[in-house]
Structure 1
Amino acid sequence: MATAVVRFTAAALTDRGRKRPSNEDAFGFSVEDGVYVVCDGMGGAAAGEVASSIAVDEVLRIFHERNGSAVLPRDAEEAVETANQAIYSRARRNYKLSGMGTTLVAVVVRSQHVWVLNIGDSRCYRLRGGSLEQVTLDHSLVEEQVRMGRMTKAEAARSPMRNMITRALGTQGQVTPDCFNFDAQPGDLLLLCSDGLTRELSDSLIQSLISSSLPLEQRCSRLIEAAKKAGGHDNITCVLVQAD
């Protein structure tokens, strides 16, 4: 049986939200190189902005330099490790940036093959056949408690520890991303987002907002505006990747 030819298009949007004085999220993508990235930085004195920007730039740079010759998932994991080292080294050289770090969620595609890597609590979702599925697993204290059956989803949402992540890029000399892979089908829609979106909107509302025939840019805008209307307590970033 012949394999379907899958082509990808994408759109993205980020917003400071309604409460934060600056935007420490960063995103980037290259349809030509088949890579899409969202990062949510952390650290005082604008260090979070530095960390998230470094991570996005490094991952995009590596895949651009490989010029389609990357061996997956090995080179994707190498790109994440290179970004980690760049952030960690920068923080060690500048005490004002000490302790900075960032989450990362990245999608890399080759033909119909999709690899998803994540560190922290930025997420990747897949909308297929009208059903929304969370591809990644959060590296956060409360979500790990939920997975072990020690806390309910409702308790996790109310917990004062819900902002604590257990894995971040750049805070240590080495870090290991989770890696997931699947074959894309025509019609699949991937959503990469920071927790500024998922803290405000339920999965069912996210699904309803992206399940339309509107252009990807408008669907991104709908997500951002809904999250702001719900409170906008954090920076909000989303990248939508459509398989056609």
Structure 2
Amino acid sequence: MKAIFVTHKGKIRQHNEDSGGVFFSQSGQRLAIVADGMGGHRAGDVASKMALIKLQEEWEKAEKIETADQAENWLKDHIDQVNMVLYEHSKKHSECEGMGTTIVAAIITELFSTIAHIGDSRCYIYNETGFSQVTEDHSLVNELVRSGEISKEDAENHPRKNVLLRALGTETSVEMDIKTILFEEGDRLLLCSDGLSNKVTETEIVNILENHLAIEEKANTLVKLANDYGGEDNISLIIVEYDPNSPKGDVK
């Protein structure tokens, strides 16, 4: 299995408020995380980095995940804990008032992947049936699309596209979506912040993922495309490729 995390502040923003990485448990299982912070000057990067570090610390102590139920419970319990940590920090530190972060996190085993998310950072899967979005954005615009009030085309340039309905750390409790999917040889996962998904089309993403480029080149090409198309936001992504021929633990 191969994985890579890449982040870039983009062409406009002064700071990168995204955080992410791929981490190992004691048994060698992987946890992939992308978090897109928000909440004003220097507060967004505090939120996303705190969430990342806390989950990394807990994952590195985690026992082997054998079932989807175990994976789903681990993600729910620990993301709930992180939510309270962020919320309490924002109340104690005035400069962090109102801070929060999106999160998309995937526990990746040899049989399945379990994905939890809050906000509009996304997870996609590319497998033998094609390319599909696993997560559904917790955003105002997506709700308008779901209710039929606007079309997907209208959503692309909607003036309130950045309004989130859920975020990690902004309330005492938060609802998250958790889903388990099969993850088999030849499959690829893509986790990303909206700095990528808002700029690069699904067709372009597929063309890059199915290319025979090295995984590092695929990731860097996606970031370059998002910047070429304006780069107004921070850009972060993780690609995980289920390659049975790669050495165990081959994470970049």
What's the TM-score bracket when you normalise by the shorter of the two chains? over 0.9
Code of the aligned partner of 1:153:
K
- Whole-angstrom distance in 1 between the partners of 2:101 and 2:228: 25
Q: What are the equivalent positions in structure 2 for 1:199-238 lying under 5 Å apart? A: 199-238=198-237
Q: Provide the residue aligned with 1:63 in structure 2.
A: 59
**Percent of pairs identical after alignment?**
34
Q: Provide the residue aligned with 1:83 in structure 2.
A: 82
Mapped pair 1:25 → 2:18: yes
Asked whether the equivalents of residues 110 and 184 of structure 2 are also in contact (C-alpha less than 8 Å), the reply is no
Q: Provide the residue aligned with 2:6 in structure 1.
A: 13
Q: Provide the residue aligned with 2:241 in structure 1.
A: 242
- Whole-angstrom distance in 2 between the partners of 1:234 and 1:205: 19
Asked whether the equivalents of residues 33 and 63 of structure 1 are also in contact (C-alpha less than 8 Å), the reply is no
Code of the aligned partner of 2:206:
Q
Q: What are the equivalent positions in structure 2 for 1:84-103 lying under 5 Å apart? A: 84-103=83-102
Which deviations, in whole Å up to 9, do the C-alpha atoms of 1:94-140 show, x marking residues without a partner? 01100000000011023312101110000000011272100000000
Asked whether the equivalents of residues 65 and 71 of structure 2 are also in contact (C-alpha less than 8 Å), the reply is no
Code of the aligned partner of 1:10:
A
- Whole-angstrom distance in 1 between the partners of 2:159 and 2:64: 44
Q: What are the equivalent positions in structure 2 for 1:1-244 lying under 5 Å apart? A: 8-31=1-24, 32-68=28-64, 71-129=70-128, 131-244=130-243
Q: Provide the residue aligned with 2:248 in structure 1.
A: none
Higher deviation after alignment, 179-188 or 206-215:
206-215
CA offset at residue 86 of structure 1? Answer: 1.3
CA offset at residue 82 of structure 1? Answer: 1.3
Code of the aligned partner of 2:198:
R
Q: Quote the RMSD (CA, aligned, Å).
A: 1.3
Code of the aligned partner of 2:197:
T
- Whole-angstrom distance in 2 between the partners of 1:88 and 1:122: 20
Q: Provide the residue aligned with 2:250 in structure 1.
A: none
- Whole-angstrom distance in 1 between the partners of 2:234 and 2:99: 17
- Whole-angstrom distance in 2 between the partners of 1:110 and 1:73: 13
TM-score (norm 2): 0.91
- Whole-angstrom distance in 2 between the partners of 1:240 and 1:85: 29
Code of the aligned partner of 2:156:
A
Code of the aligned partner of 1:158:
N
- Whole-angstrom distance in 1 between the partners of 2:139 and 2:96: 23
Higher deviation after alignment, 11-20 or 61-70:
61-70
Q: What secondary structure is seen at the aligned counterpart in 1 of 2:19?
A: strand
- Whole-angstrom distance in 2 between the partners of 1:153 and 1:34: 34
Asked whether the equivalents of residues 209 and 219 of structure 1 are also in contact (C-alpha less than 8 Å), the reply is yes
Higher deviation after alignment, 131-140 or 65-74:
65-74
- Whole-angstrom distance in 1 between the partners of 2:137 and 2:197: 11
Asked whether the equivalents of residues 224 and 236 of structure 1 are also in contact (C-alpha less than 8 Å), the reply is yes
Code of the aligned partner of 2:64:
G
Code of the aligned partner of 1:238:
L
Higher deviation after alignment, 57-66 or 230-239:
57-66
Asked whether the equivalents of residues 58 and 82 of structure 1 are also in contact (C-alpha less than 8 Å), the reply is no
Q: What secondary structure is seen at the aligned counterpart in 2 of 1:27?
A: strand
TM-score (norm 1): 0.94
Q: Provide the residue aligned with 1:4 in structure 2.
A: none
- The count of residues paired between Structure 1 and Structure 2 equals 237
Code of the aligned partner of 1:109:
I
Q: What secondary structure is seen at the aligned counterpart in 1 of 2:4?
A: strand
